[in-house]
Amino acid sequence: MGWLADETGLERCSANHVALSPLSHLARAADVFPNHLALIYGQTRRTYAQYHTRVSRLASALAAHGVRPGDVVATILPNIPAQAEAHFGIPACGAIINTINTRLEPDTVGYIFDHGGAVVVLCDTAFLPLAEAAIELQAGPPPHIIEVPDPEAGHPATGRYSTYEDLLDQGDPADAWHMPTDEWESIALNYTSGTTGRPKGVVCHHRGAYLLTMGTVVSWGLTMHPVYLTIVPLFHCNGWGHTWMMPVLGGTIACCRDVTARAIYDAIADHGVSHFGGAPIVLNTLIHAKPDQRRAFDHIVQVFTAGAPPAAATLAAIEPLGFEVKQVYGLTETYGHITECLWQDRWNALPQSERAAIKARTGVMQPMAGEAVVMDEAMQPVPRDGETVGEIMIRGNTVMKGYYKNPEATAEAFKGGWFHSGDIAFQHPDGYIKITDRAKDIIISGGENVSSVEVENVLMHHPAVSLCAVVAKPDEKWGEVPCAFVELKADARATEGQIIAFVRDHLAGFKTPKIVVFGELPKTATGKIQKFVLRVTAKTL
């Protein structure tokens, strides 16, 4: 029985229910903003009418080549227009997009080809050797390669494969899209980083992707016609869903193939970039850019940062340069960001250092998220006292369907009716979450827990430090001790003793690194430091 005494005749029908899908955003934009600029890349300019036509051609051509609803189509592409078009064109033929990290090694790509069962792969010319080597290693039927040349970046077609433009020429620009009849239908298959074994395939649905786009509009305070720079790789959580979102507002996507300080400053100055997302390392790149890499601009650029908790020192240094930064948090399993450090007016009068520390919080759930709570081992919410730690647990419409072909891992991740993030945090009295560490990154030294993030935050205040990471080093006496890996600023100098003394001035002795290793840190394509690599190195020191 419903809320009404008599609901006869109140059935769901085509007039009152349509499956939610981000595909609808581009269909609407082509009608409402046909002549507005949708994509920028080098000398390429495409309006929404042209964008929609090319997506329709792609969907039609894939279907003509035997791609059926429910099939997987992979991409090995940087942030170029074809990758944005693929995000609409692949699901527009009913298929599932599988964006593959271009920095993976052939063995892992071959595993993803096998596990996901891709029937086609759209591959940038520069990454053909990766795709070919992966196919040699895989066990199952190989995907059909469609080459995507990029002459503007110096990658003309090899002539060995049919090209992306050849494929589009075979498509019908008026072809009707295959829209989902059930919003639970899969739209994307994304693979985790696989730092503790083979990567897991995260399955996302149309409903979650749609709600992510709409919630981001609210969370970021977006208005009409923003210009978004694609720094977050589109193979990472589908670029946090921002490519699917931009047509909602008739926005313009400026594609950035190579993320450098010069490219970012040029895009802001030349194209009026108003928004971008990126890991804290991107912020550091802008902070430490040399004078000849910078360009002047006269507006404030809005930035979402995620991938690792940003140091307060980084946030304090970036904003005077013309960037308004908001930390967001999420995982591949949550389609990208689901919490934000939502700013409160009561903080405006605080000293700058205190404002930066608040901005380093993980924050509160975004509008499209259901719940994000810090819980103890009994799955009870921890006290909001700013110190009691637990695990961040999440549930809502932007949580994955599950891990593909891995029911055991899915059941473990959803134990107790919540998604277990593996991130350790506490909650302030006002409810704002603050991550202290990944569960696997906590250092237990002499029975005391040491937060690697806390030590890293102190290190980032050292005037010579550009980037750092702290991991556990095995120790006979203490079990584990903190080991710091430090990347210095250009032309800066510091000794191990100076770094250790600096930390000791700010933290307890057991939290102070016992070893400091200088050099460039290993990073993912999104700029996230690969701590699993550093943990292996630390064991040998």
Q: What is the pLDDT of residues 420-462, one digit of tens each?
A: 999 999 999 999 999 887 767 778 786 566 878 889 989 999 9
- Catalogue all structural domains in the chain, each as residue range(s) with its CATH number: 23-174+181-211 (3.40.50.980), 259-439 (3.40.50.12780), 442-540 (3.30.300.30)
Instruction: Give the pLDDT of residue 446.
Output: 67
Please say whether the beta carbons of 59 and 92 come within 8 A: yes
**Torsion sign across C-alpha atoms 26, 28, 29, 34:** positive
Please say whether the beta carbons of 54 and 44 come within 8 A: no
Instruction: Give the pLDDT of residue 491.
Output: 87
- Joined together, the tokens standing for residue 111 give 């595993």
Tell me what percent of the residues of the chain surpass a pLDDT of 70. Answer: 97
pTM: 0.85
Burial category of 223 from C-beta neighbours within 10 Å (exposed 0-12, middle 13-18, buried 19 and up): exposed
Q: Residue 477 pLDDT more than 70?
A: yes
Burial 348-365 (b: 16+ CB within 10 A, else e): eeeeeeebbbbbbbbbbb
Instruction: Give the pLDDT of residue 1.
Output: 44
Please say whether the beta carbons of 88 and 23 come within 8 A: yes
Residue 439's CB: how many other CB atoms inside 10 A? Answer: 11
Highest average pLDDT, of 103-107, 271-275, 487-491, comes from 271-275
Residues 193-202, mean pLDDT to the nearest whole number:
74
For the ranges 54-63, 116-125, 298-307, the lowest mean pLDDT is seen at 298-307
Q: Residue 196 pLDDT more than 60?
A: no
Residues 271-284, mean pLDDT to the nearest whole number:
92
- Joined together, the tokens standing for residue 299 give 């507006």
Instruction: Give the pLDDT of residue 448.
Output: 67
Q: Give the contacts of 394 (CB within 8 A, at least 6 positions apart).
A: 334, 338, 369, 370, 371, 372, 373, 418, 419, 421
pLDDT tens per residue across span 338-357: 999 999 999 999 998 888 88
**What average pLDDT is seen over the chain?**
93
For the ranges 5-14, 170-179, 194-203, 399-408, the lowest mean pLDDT is seen at 194-203
Please say whether the beta carbons of 284 and 467 come within 8 A: yes
Burial category of 528 from C-beta neighbours within 10 Å (exposed 0-12, middle 13-18, buried 19 and up): middle
pLDDT tens per residue across span 134-155: 999 998 999 999 999 999 999 9
Q: Using the 8-state DSSP alphabet, how is residue 208 labeled?
A: H
pLDDT tens per residue across span 30-72: 999 999 999 999 999 999 999 999 999 999 999 999 999 999 9
Instruction: Give the pLDDT of residue 129.
Output: 97
Please say whether the beta carbons of 411 and 220 come within 8 A: no
Instruction: Give the pLDDT of residue 441.
Output: 78
Which ranges of 254-345 does DSSP label H, i.e. alpha helix? 261-271, 280-287, 312-318
Cross-strand bridge partners of residue 420? 393
- How far is the C-alpha of 330 from the C-alpha of 468, rounded, in Å? 22
φ and ψ at residue 114, rounded to 5 degrees: -65, -50
Q: Residue 133 pLDDT more than 70?
A: yes
For the ranges 125-129, 210-214, 535-539, the lowest mean pLDDT is seen at 535-539
**Torsion sign across C-alpha atoms 407, 413, 415, 416:** negative
Residues 239-263, mean pLDDT to the nearest whole number:
97
Half-sphere exposure of 426 (CA within 13 A, CB side): 11
Residue 44's CB: how many other CB atoms inside 10 A? Answer: 11
User: 506 falls in which pLDDT band (50, 70, 90)?
Assistant: confident
- β-strand 433-438 against 448-450: which pairing, if any? unpaired
For the ranges 189-193, 196-200, 305-309, the lowest mean pLDDT is seen at 196-200
In terms of phi and psi (left: phi > 0; alpha: psi -120 to 50; beta: otherwise), the region of 211 is: alpha
Tell the residue number behind the tokens 């059930």, with chain if given. 182
Residues 2-28, mean pLDDT to the nearest whole number:
88
- SS3 category, 188: strand
- Joined together, the tokens standing for residue 491 give 């032309």
Instruction: Give the pLDDT of residue 451.
Output: 78
